[in-house]
Structure formats: structure tokens, C-alpha cells
Amino acid sequence: MAVTKTKRDFPLDRIRNIGIIAHIDAGKTTTTERILFYTGRTYKIGDIDEGTTTTDWMEQEKERGITIVSAAITTFWTPKSGPMADQNTRINLIDTPGHVDFTAEVERSLRVLDGGVIVLDSASGVQSQTETVWRQANKYKVPLIAFSNKMDVVGADFLGTIQSARDRLGANAVAYNLPVGRENDFKGVIDLLNKKALIWQGDETGAKFTEEEIPDDLKEEAEKYREKLVEEISSTNDQLMEKYLGGEEIGVDELKKALRQAVIENKIVPVLAGSSLRNKGVQPMLDAVVEFLPSPQDVASVSGINPRTGESEARPTDPTASFSALAFKIQVDPHVGKLTYLRIYSGTLKSGSYVYNSSKNIKERIGRLMLMHANEREEIEEALAGEIVAAVGLKETITGNTLSDESKSIILESINFPEPVISLAIEPKTKSDQEKLGLALSRLAEEDPTFRVKTDAETGQTIISGMGELQLEVLVDRMRREFKVEANVGQPQVAYKETITQQASGEGKYIRQTGGRGQYGHCLLRIEPLTRGQGREFVSEIVGGAIPREYIPAIEKGVIEKEDTGILAGYPVTDVKTTVYDGSFHEVDSSEMAFKIAGSLGLSDAASRAAMVLLEPIMKVEVTTPEEFLGDIIADLSSKRAQILSTEMRGNARVVVALVPLAEMGGYATTIRSMSQGRATYYMEADHYEEVPKNIAEKIITASGFTGRVEH
């Protein structure tokens, strides 16, 4: 593979860091393929069904026809008209997965992007995962434009899609263009601001289109929606509002500049129509990316915490400022080893230089810098503020770490990932597999922050956990192919958790007297429940030296280990605040080990009085079904302890939304197929944890055979 070494010098205002986000099967990867073709990055349009797409380069992605890992691509686009006419703009594009099992890929991409294109299915409107990625984008205040894809499919409804975005997302979605025809007759779009129709005819690749007058039968509708668009844009800008109310004509360039500002401030989401598969409407969407989504300059300075002072500091997007960057993705590349993807927020990074990992307080060396084109690489000498690059040579840096200048260190806001909800046991088939298994699992866990590995203290089994069966299936498949590890895999198990429902105190006393020096550790703990989802907390209220300060971390370690191995049924303890408030020590016999065991015993003792309960993951399930199977599907869900939230019409199908315990959803894909003659589909994502009903909890605790004992 040819690697070119280039020096970058691209104006900041002509860089766009964007992501393509959407519900599964809305057409993200197909849209990305068209973008790469029209921008000249590829010379042949990739096809998902043939496994020839650029961004879905993993074997598992080609076989399943889905995106599993986000892929970064750098490409260029020059609009032909408008304020950005003839300005060659560099687009750093990230194609993200749609499947909820890989939600971490979307989360970390949105954390470092300046803008995004949310792809909507014109026939289905806003779907469940669309709502999830919308919330993720909102969390990081990422400005979006929307692309209403699949205008060529049966049931496509552009205006209905806009309405569903307004209703379900609370977005100020506004038609930026209008489709010419729909379903089989879809042939182009009407550019509302320029009052022109863009028509695609006869060209298989869709690279050429003609600019025509708006068809007579659409003139009235086009005028109506142009008026709406102008009114929405004017309402965000005082000067334009005066002109609008005064009946003055507002220039197209003026409107575009105001719309750009409104998009950057998240006041308007322009919606464009198109069909990526039929190669129509993608170029106007690319123009909109360049014209309306922000450059790194338009985004507010990034702020973080100075680790030395604890104060908040801002860093401007300026290549001459102090260096700061966030590591947002780790990828193991078979050719160059570990790649660390970085978003550079300020300063300049040179290959061969040393950087300071302020999250871990260590120095690291940047071996080489790469611009990524999916799994192909272009080597560069330096990277400037506003760029997204991959670095080779970072050994200790993990997802969420901040890199900065050592003399002016800063810690940027990290990335929070959801907790795993499903786990399974895995064991190597042979002794040689045993050695390779540990390496493979640690590499995969490094790449995917939602993938966890632990050893069961009771059985000695290796347990892997993740967001869903598909994610674990893919990871086991990658172990076999990439790391040549053959393993036996158990049945997926629900990731239950344990918690307490009332405050309680307990005593941990560990005293051993053998010949010579003994062991002495003694602490008094108080535990209290936290709000669901808050996690765990440990605080010390020791005053007057009842326990020397150096033994407090040992008590905390004992408490954490006991919380990890579980007390009731061997599941991790969560949503608990533990306070050590008193204790005693021995001048000679006390040690860290003794206090660690005392901490563990103290937690068990307190928990025995705190009315412990089991928690189970509750999934949000959305079933799309023809009307005739609706009754059977609702009845089946109800038998699974489901709470039905809503049923609604979407196109000519019925959509049932329910909250269902994950424990009841095993084999649901087969159930729903047989119940609906294969015509119903479902989507499932983790929603929250809830207390397991008493009768079911008793069965789980009995089946676990967990003794809750403390290992000494």
C-alpha cells in the first residue's frame, strides 16, 4: 500500500469534521460511498450487498452488511455556487454504525466532531435509534443537517419525515429542498432558495444532473415552502427579520449566511431529500455540509481542567496555541500496530515529537502521524488544530485520555460509555489458545470501551460482557480470525446487578495471630443507597487518627473488590455510597492487607442489614409489524413482563414500543419471525436498570449457588 508523506497547510475555515449518523439500515454507508465517489476519493461506487464499500472494510462488516466500527475518511469538495463557491473544502468524514450494540462508536465520534449529517429513512421517518443518536448529538451540542434518504422506496414521504423529526426529536426541522416525484418517479429536487429544479436523468452514477425550471405542477408548493424557509431563517436574525417584515427581497447569499449561523447555534435543522442508492440528491447535500456545518473555527474554544490548579481553562482552535488533543478511538492495525485516533483542539503536533498524557501523568512519543482513509493510510509530518488524525507509537494512551504540552497541561472532558448488559463465559480450546486468549481479549477491550473482561472468582471462568449478543458474537469472531484463538463460548447471560435499599452499618475486623508478626485491621463502615445509575462512591470520615491515613486506600480497595464480586448472588454491587467512619489499628500488626480484608468484611456485614435486591437491565423494544399480527405480538410481549408504552401507525405498518426485561428477550428474533411469517422486525436498546420481582430474584439467587463468602 503506497504511503505518501505530505505536509498539511489547509485553512481552518475550509475544514469540516462531520459524522454520518442514523438508525440501522437508514443508508449511512451507502450515502458515505456516494460522497466518496462524487468527491473523487473513489473511482467506483461501493456496494454493501457485494461487500465492496470503502468504510465497511472488516470481514465481519462485509459478511453481515452492517457497519461495526466507525471509519474515518478524508476527502475534498468544492461547491459550484453560493458564498463558498469554488472554495476547495477538506471534509474529515466519520461513518458510524447504526446498530445499538455498537453505540460506543457513535458516542466517541460525536464527542470529537464539529457537525453531522443525520440520515432519515423517508418511508419510516424517525426511528428509535435515530432518537438515541439525536440525544447523543445534543449532549455534545453537535449541529446537524438532515438527509431524508430512500425517496425512491414505496411509502416515501418527505414532508411526513420532517413532521416526525419535529414531533419525535423536538427539532426545528425545515425543508431546504423538495423532492421532484417520489417512489419510482423520484428524479430530482427543487432548490428552494435558488428557485431551480435539479434533475438526474439516465446517468447510472448520478454524477451529472441538469438545472431546470421548477415544473409547473410544483411551482405553488415550492413557493409555499420557500416562504416557510425564508421565514424560519429570518426569525433567527434581527436584520433579516426587519427586511422580511418590511416586504424587502432578501438575497440568497444573505439567507445562506444567516442559515449557516442558525445551524451552528442549533436553531434550525435543514432537511434535504435524496436517494443515495439511486445516486440522486447527494451533491446538494455535500454543498449543504460545506455551506452550513461549522468549521473548527466556528466552534467555541474547548475547555478543560488544569490538573495543577483544578481551575477551568479554555484553548482556542489555533495552531500557535498550546497543544491539546483528545484520544477518542484505539484500533489495532495488522500493518502498523496500535493506531490512536486523535482530535487536535489546539496547537500543532509533529511526528517524532513527545507529548504529555495529562490523564495518566506520563510522557509518550508520537512515532508517525497518519490521515486515515478507512483502512488505508497517508503519512503526514504534522497535524494542526482542528484536524482528526491517527498516531502510531502511543503505548499507554487509551480512549478518553487527553494529550497536551507538559508545561501547559490540561484535561479535557472525557467520554462516558454505557454499562454492559449481557455477558457470556469463554474458555480456550487448547493450552496454546490459553496463552493467546489473554492478549486477544486485552487488545479487543482496548479498542472497545463497552467490552469488559473479568474472571469469575467462584468458578475461575473468563467472563466477557458487552452491549448485546451481536457485539459479543463479532468480538468472538474477531478473536478467531485476527488473533487465531479457538474458544468455547457459553450461552449469553443477563448482566444483573446488586444494590441496597436502606442505610446500614457494619464492622470489619481481621485479626490473625501466628508465630511472629500478626495481622490486625479493623474498620466501621456505613453504606447508603444512591439514586439509580449513580454508580459507586467511597468517602472517609476518619478524624483524630483512629485509622492511619495510609490504610484508607487499602480499605477502599477491599470494598471495591467485594462490590465487584458481589454479595447476594455474585453480581456487581452498584448505586452504593460507602463511608468509613471509625476503626482501630495496631502499632506493629496492622498492614495494608489486613485493612483490605477488613474493608471487604465490613461491606459484607453492612450489606447483610441493608435489604439487598437484584437489579436487571430493562430494554426499550420497538416492534414494526403489519396490522394483522399486532394482537399476537402485544400478547407475547405482555407474557414477557413487558410494559407497553405506545402503539402507532407508521406508513402502513404498526409500531409497538415497550419496556421489556432483557432476561425475557432470549431468542426473540426467532419468535417474532414465526409469529409474523417473517414480516415483523424489531429493534432493542438498553434503557435502564430496575428491581427484579421477588419471586424471580429468589430463583436467580438459588441458581447462582453463590455463597457470598470473602476469600482470605
Cβ atoms within 10 Å of 540's Cβ, excluding its own: 16
pLDDT exceeds 50 at position 6: no
Q: What pLDDT score was predicted for residue 61?
A: 43
Angle between helices 552-565 and 592-607 in degrees, nearest 10 = 50
CA 305 and chain centroid, separation: 23
Confidence of residue 253 (pLDDT cuts 50, 70, 90): confident
Determine the Cα–Cα distance for residues 295 and 312; give it in Å rounded to an integer: 24
Q: What pLDDT score was predicted for residue 42?
A: 52
Q: What pLDDT score was predicted for residue 108?
A: 67
Residue 493 C-alpha cell reads as 447471560
Mean pLDDT of 69-92: 76
Question: Which residue would you say has higher pLDDT here, 205 or 631?
Answer: 631
The three-state secondary structure class of 671 is: helix
Residue 31 C-alpha cell reads as 450515502
Q: Which of 27, 34, 30 is nearest to 200 (CA)?
A: 34
pLDDT exceeds 50 at position 325: yes
Q: What pLDDT score was predicted for residue 709?
A: 39
CA 90 and chain centroid, separation: 24
Q: What angle do CA 326, 332, 336 make, to 5 degrees?
A: 100
CB 91 within 8 A of CB 289: yes
| DSSP string over 413-460 | -----PPP-EEEEEEESSHHHHHHHHHHHHHHHHH-TT-EEEE-TTT-
- For 81-101, how does the pLDDT look when each residue is reduced to its tens digit (9 = 90+)? 777 777 888 888 876 765 555
pLDDT exceeds 60 at position 16: yes
- Is residue 577 classed exposed, middle or buried when 0-12, 13-18 and 19+ CB atoms within 10 A define those classes? middle
Q: What pLDDT score was predicted for residue 64?
A: 45
CB 632 within 8 A of CB 655: no
Ordered structural domains, the chain, with CATH: 19-298 (3.40.50.300), 302-412 (2.40.30.10), 422-495 (3.30.70.870), 498-610 (3.30.230.10), 616-698 (3.30.70.240)
Cβ atoms within 10 Å of 221's Cβ, excluding its own: 14
- For 553-595, how does the pLDDT look when each residue is reduced to its tens digit (9 = 90+)? 999 999 999 998 889 888 899 999 999 999 999 988 889 999 9
pLDDT exceeds 70 at position 259: yes
Give the list of residues 6+ apart from residue 122 with CB closer than 8 angstroms, or none: 148, 149, 150, 151, 153, 156, 157, 158, 161, 273
The three-state secondary structure class of 124 is: coil
Mean pLDDT of 339-365: 88
Question: Which residue would you say has higher pLDDT here, 671 or 376?
Answer: 671
Side chain identity at 607, as an amino acid letter?
A: A
In percent, the amount of the chain with pLDDT more than 90 equals 23
Determine the Cα–Cα distance for residues 637 and 280; give it in Å rounded to an integer: 40
- For 643-680, how does the pLDDT look when each residue is reduced to its tens digit (9 = 90+)? 999 888 876 778 899 999 988 988 787 888 888 887 78
- For 150-167, how does the pLDDT look when each residue is reduced to its tens digit (9 = 90+)? 888 888 889 999 998 898
CB 178 within 8 A of CB 227: no
C-alpha atoms less than 13 angstroms from C-alpha of 557 in its C-beta half-sphere? 11
> In angstroms, how far apart are the furthest CA atoms of the chain?
102
Determine the Cα–Cα distance for residues 165 and 187; give it in Å rounded to an integer: 24
Mean pLDDT of 372-381: 71
Residue 482 C-alpha cell reads as 485476527
Q: What pLDDT score was predicted for residue 4?
A: 38
Q: Which of 689, 687, 690, 620 is nearest to 655 (CA)?
A: 620
Q: What angle do CA 586, 527, 696 make, to 5 degrees?
A: 130
C-alpha atoms less than 13 angstroms from C-alpha of 380 in its C-beta half-sphere? 23
The pair phi, psi for residue 425, each rounded to 5°, is: -85, 145
Window from 65-69, 328-332, 495-499 with minimum mean pLDDT: 65-69
Residue 245 C-alpha cell reads as 417584515
Confidence of residue 3 (pLDDT cuts 50, 70, 90): very low
Determine the Cα–Cα distance for residues 61 and 63; give it in Å rounded to an integer: 6
